[in-house]
Amino acid sequence: MFTRLEAIFPRTFSSAFPSADLLKLSRRELAQELARWPTLPTRQVLERGMSELKRGGSTWPPTIPALVALLAPQPADFGMTATAEAWAEVSAHAHHPADHRWSHEAVRLAGSAVGWWEIARVVPSRVDRLERRFAKHYGALVNRVMAGEDLTPRQLLESDRQRSVAELAARAGREQAQQQAEAAGLPHSMSGAQGLRSMRAALGRT
């Protein structure tokens, strides 16, 4: 990377790193910071950072903190959209979430955590509050994915081997009921009043 920086900033690189010892120290500081990350920057991330430097128009190489910020992984590097786009997606498809092909599992899970019923029927005065709740859930899921976690952990599949046929059948029934609830736009759990309103709506009563 520092070789690339020297090529991009040929006139000022030696001024920013006037000695071999300072250059070595800078390399070490950057390496120590990157070592704390769950995953190292990919070549795609590196190329994106270099492109941003070139477009920035600065005549001086970036500082170590600036380099760290440039190399920080973004949700897009893992196939995930920004929070605002993810919220727009769940808002548009909250009425029939089971019928939508989600851009990423994290978007669906975050929407489900907030509640499809709440999202689909939110009043304008509560949109901001609901969006903040979604952003919190989505941000946590994004961090898990960027840390290398699978949102459908293998251990859940492996644990099926330890379950009886009856247990698997019962779980399948619960999952089917949940899918039907999601398709109807119902939340995972409802208060008594919410349940009564939903039943009345389904029966065409007020």
pLDDT tens column, 100-152: 999 999 999 999 999 999 999 999 999 999 999 999 999 999 988 887 888 87
**Interacting residues of 80 by C-beta distance below 8 A, sequence separation 6+:** 86, 103, 104, 106, 107, 142, 145
Q: Does residue 193 surpass a pLDDT of 70?
A: no
Q: Does residue 160 surpass a pLDDT of 50?
A: no
Mean pLDDT of the residues in the chain:
81
Q: How far apart are CA 162 and CA 40, in angstroms?
A: 36
- Alpha helix positions (H), 36-126: 43-56, 64-71, 83-93, 105-114, 116-120
**Bigger pLDDT: 62 vs 188:** 62
Q: How far apart are CA 145 and CA 152, in angstroms?
A: 11
Q: How far apart are CA 79 and CA 75, in angstroms?
A: 7
Predicted confidence at residue 170, as pLDDT, reads 59
Task: Name the DSSP class of 80.
Answer: -
The whole-number average pLDDT for the span 16-30 is 94
The whole-number average pLDDT for the span 58-73 is 89
In DSSP notation, 48-71 reads HHHHHHHHH--SSPPPHHHHHHHH
Q: How far apart are CA 175 and CA 158, in angstroms?
A: 18
Q: What is this structure's pTM?
A: 0.57
How is residue 122 written in tokens? 């939110």
Q: Does residue 203 surpass a pLDDT of 60?
A: no
Confidence of residue 89 (pLDDT cuts 50, 70, 90): very high
